[in-house]
């Protein structure tokens, strides 16, 4: 099992950041690599079990299922059902925690998955840097514009 973990401090209140990222269908609004997203079968985007089907700007398609959503903990957990990445048993969790002395947000994103040993360095970099870190960097910019 491979684990990727990335954290960041977002210069905005946790409730504000959570208001954006809790929407399981909002990836195009805050990530730099998602072109379009929809929730299958017209389910609400905060219903545990719903499936988001999104298209990357490079043309790839990913389907993910919401496994858990907690407004109290400001966290969501999801799995990848289909992806162009060579991963299996992929489970990720995105969590936000208030930083009370600066009214900012401590954001954590972790994924655990299986992959071929020779693919681990590439996938760790791709997910950690090109997905998680890039998303947090974009989120920082989005929050700064508010």
Strand order in the sheet with 2-10: 2-10, 104-114, 88-99, 75-82, 61-70, 51-56, 34-39
pLDDT of 81 over the 80 cut: yes
pLDDT of 146 over the 80 cut: no
Token representation of residue 29? 């609004």
Token representation of residue 141? 């910019």
Q: How many domains does the chain have?
A: 1
Domain that holds residue 32: 2-144
CATH number at residue 42: 3.30.530.20
- pTM recorded for the entire structure: 0.92
Q: How confident is the model at residue 104 (pLDDT cuts 50, 70, 90)?
A: very high
Q: How confident is the model at residue 145 (pLDDT cuts 50, 70, 90)?
A: confident
Q: What's the pLDDT score for residue 85?
A: 87
């Amino acid at each position: 099992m491979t684990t990727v973990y990335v954290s960041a401090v977002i210069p905005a209140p946790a409730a504000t950041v959570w208001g954006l990222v809790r929407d399981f269908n909002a990836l195009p609004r805050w990530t730099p690599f998602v072109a379009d997203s929809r929730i299958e079968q017209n389910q609400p985007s905060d219903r545990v079990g719903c499936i988001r089907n999104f298209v990357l700007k490079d043309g790839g398609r990913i389907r993910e299922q919401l496994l858990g959503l907690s407004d109290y903990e400001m966290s969501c957990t999801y799995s990848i059902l289909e992806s162009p990445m060579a991963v299996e048993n992929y489970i990720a969790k995105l969590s936000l925690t208030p930083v009370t002395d600066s009214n900012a947000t401590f954001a954590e994103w972790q994924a655990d998955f299986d992959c071929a040993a020779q693919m681990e360095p590439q996938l760790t970099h791709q997910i950690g840097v090109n997905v998680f870190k890039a998303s947090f960097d974009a989120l920082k910019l989005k929050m700064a514009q508010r």
